[in-house]
Structure 1
Amino acid sequence: FIYIFCIYMFVFDFLSNDVLVTRRGSNATLPCRLQGSPHDFFATGEVRIRWSKLSLDHSDEVDVLVSMGIYKKSFGSFHDRVYLKEADENDASLVITNVTLHDTGVYKCEIIDGMDDGAGIITLELQGKQSSVVFPYSPRLGRYNLNFYDAETACLRQDAIMASTAQLYSAWREGFDWCNAGWLSDGSVQYPIAVPREPCGGKNAAAGMRNYGSQNKHSNHYDVFCFTSDYKGHFYFLTQASKLTYDEAVKACKKDGSEIAKVGQIYAAWKIGGYDRCDAGWLADGSVRYPISKPRKYCSPTEAAVRFVGFPEKKHKLYGVYCFKALN
């Protein structure tokens, strides 16, 4: 889902309380328009329109699209993926095509018309039980080795972004239970407990979100909770005659026209697609995991889960490989 929140300023009208439903890879329209009689600011070039994306703490912003009359320019990762809708003379709504995980966040629409100007704040999110998943992540070094910025990078490398508090809370409401504390996108450190127990806040404590509050982003180290959504592609276990080393696994996927799968992709395939396979396989980060949707003896007998084998020596010929083939 996309939730959009805006404000009114001056003579400019920014639509509010719109709720749009989208999927990763689809298009999204962020509304913004000039209020009043038709102005035709696209043709006159007298009005400047600027769309930007704000940082998490709103202290910085990067250009998304700038328009003055017939002249328009898009920037960075948005280049050739965004345009103004221009449904009528006053419409400055931004259309983002092929929405990615990295497009989520807060956007600002600014319209400057002579002595008048206005600005609207719009939040773009991807949510929904059927199209997203939150998962915990720690690196090869082990538990509690990531500062905030390392955590952010770790999620990006796994085809994911850092989860928000709302996304982790939603996952907890669905039964997500994890005893290791992890970073969230607002700089807080939390973890979800569905079954209270001694090592996780005490067995007499209520189930809920354990919250350490905001932590020093440079010096404090924890795990991280990542968020990913459905994808355009094919996730699969590559059937091989023999087990593979990590390097052999990478080459095998490449030979099959794919890439070795990432942790976010195995979680998405498991949670969203119901993928079930009892074979342990290499993933891109050097870990070995396998997804079980139907618990059974010898294959996660007590719960549906992505089972974690560990980070074995990459030279060992003990595992298969999970591959991912992106679709355009």
Structure 2
Amino acid sequence: MITLISIALLSLSLVESLDPVFISDDTSRITVTTEQAKIITARGANATLPCRLDRDIEDAFGGTNMRIKWTKLSPDYSKEIDVLVSMGFHKKTYGDFQGRVYLQEADENDASLVFSEIRLEDFGKYKCEVIDGMDDATDVVSLELEGVVFPYSPRLGRYNLNFHDAKKACKDQDATVASFDQLYDAWKGGFDWCNAGWLNDGSVQYPITTPRGPCGGNNTAPGLRNYGLRDKDRSLYDVFCFTSNFTGRFYYINSNINGTKFTYDEAIQACHEEGAEIAKVGQMFAAWKLLGYDQCDAGWLADGSVRYPISNPRRRCSPTEAAVRFVGFPDKKHRLFGAYCFQPFY
């Protein structure tokens, strides 16, 4: 005789066993494979996200009932963003992907997605889904960009950005909010920073390679310190931005024709007179990290900060490490600095 307690325990075990399980149909006649779990590219380049169909029947691929759908997974995996849908001769692209993506279709089993003119915000995970009648199959591939992660705080000082302000701050500096994977890769490369910053999934973290008292404690292990998900409207932190290759020329102007340094407004004008614009923080980090740019002279940037990039550490120029040195946000009327300019190539 089954007691009420036994029934309750049986019901509980069923709930517990069903909750985390994703049920798949093993009788499906189709599968898809992405061949590579990760595609690495750079901003401005082209890339192909592989996806191939394998069916145990001999019907021609791309029939009238065959549907191919590519979506991008949001950073927190809470939603999917439509990229491309194809059914036979009918194809549709969505949003910012319009005009930049298409199916490769090298043969009847090829559902690979081709990207042109990769943008910073394109990085992430993409799902290839093929549906044929009652059968469907999916696989996921990551699109990653070569680039650099850098910390950013505004003129107001540290911990003054909610998540929405953080996104705008990175965009204004030719960057986007970094992902966990990007910050993790930067940490593995030696990135150490003791101020907490937003990531694109809404979490707040910071990378520590040398544990110390003010940064989680002396006896803690190196790694990413994680504050977890925070209120995107009310919580205030710095932000970790990510930028990649640029198409243009980054350079330094020391002074005007009279040998005088610039105020902030004069720096903007000096760049403008050369057919350029005053450089952004992200452009300086990209030039430093990806091109090895080295200049031991402090100069104005677009956000009103003064910085200089050192790739070859030496006396009086970041003697202990390669870094972008931050002077601060000085009075914009001071004539104490040169100017960093950026001239885009079209």
Question: Normalising to structure 2: TM-score of the pair?
Answer: 0.82
Measure, in 2, the Cα distance between the counterparts of 1:244 and 1:123.
45
- The equivalent position to 1:261 in structure 2, one of 279, 287, 302, is 279
* 1:78 counterpart residue number: 97
* 1:11 counterpart residue number: 29
Q: Does 1:212 align with 2:231?
A: no
* 1:201 counterpart residue number: 216
Displacement after TM superposition at 1:45 (Å): 4.5
Contact 1:14 1:31 in 2 (8 A): no
* 1:275 counterpart residue number: 293
* 1:104 counterpart residue number: 123
Q: How does 1:1-328 map to 2 (within 5 A)?
A: 10-18=28-36, 19-36=38-55, 37=58, 39-41=60-62, 45-126=64-145, 131-241=146-256, 242-328=260-346
Measure, in 1, the Cα distance between the counterparts of 2:95 and 2:266.
35
Deviates more, 1:217-226 or 1:72-81: 72-81
Displacement after TM superposition at 1:188 (Å): 2.3
Change (3 A) 1:199 1:40: closer
Measure, in 2, the Cα distance between the counterparts of 1:132 and 1:173.
14
Displacement after TM superposition at 1:239 (Å): 4.3
Displacement after TM superposition at 1:38 (Å): 5.2
Change (3 A) 1:326 1:8: farther
Change (3 A) 1:198 1:69: same
Measure, in 2, the Cα distance between the counterparts of 1:175 and 1:56.
24
Measure, in 2, the Cα distance between the counterparts of 1:182 and 1:289.
20
Query: What are the superposed Cα offsets for residues 282-309 of structure 1, whole Å, 9 maximum, x if unpaired?
Result: 1122211111122233322332211111
How many equivalent pairs are there? 316
Paired residue secondary structure (2:48): strand
Structure 1, unmatched stretches of 5+, are: 1-6
Query: What are the superposed Cα offsets for residues 1-34 of structure 1, whole Å, 9 maximum, x if unpaired?
Result: xxxxxx9983333224514443332222112233
Measure, in 2, the Cα distance between the counterparts of 1:193 and 1:45.
54
* 2:9 counterpart residue number: none
Q: Which amino acid aligns with 2:42?
A: R
Paired residue secondary structure (1:271): helix
Structure 2, unmatched stretches of 5+, are: 1-23
- After superposition, the CA RMSD in angstroms is 2.4
Measure, in 1, the Cα distance between the counterparts of 2:77 and 2:190.
32
Contact 1:183 1:189 in 2 (8 A): yes
Measure, in 2, the Cα distance between the counterparts of 1:262 and 1:15.
41
Question: Normalising to structure 1: TM-score of the pair?
Answer: 0.86
* 2:20 counterpart residue number: none
Query: What are the superposed Cα offsets for residues 141-178 of structure 1, whole Å, 9 maximum, x if unpaired?
Result: 11001122222222222222222223222222222221
Query: What are the superposed Cα offsets for residues 242-293 of structure 1, whole Å, 9 maximum, x if unpaired?
Result: 3223233223323322222111111111122111111111112221111112
Contact 2:279 2:340 in 1 (8 A): yes
Contact 1:38 1:89 in 2 (8 A): no
Measure, in 2, the Cα distance between the counterparts of 1:69 and 1:239.
60
Change (3 A) 1:293 1:95: same
Measure, in 1, the Cα distance between the counterparts of 2:106 and 2:120.
27
Contact 2:34 2:52 in 1 (8 A): no
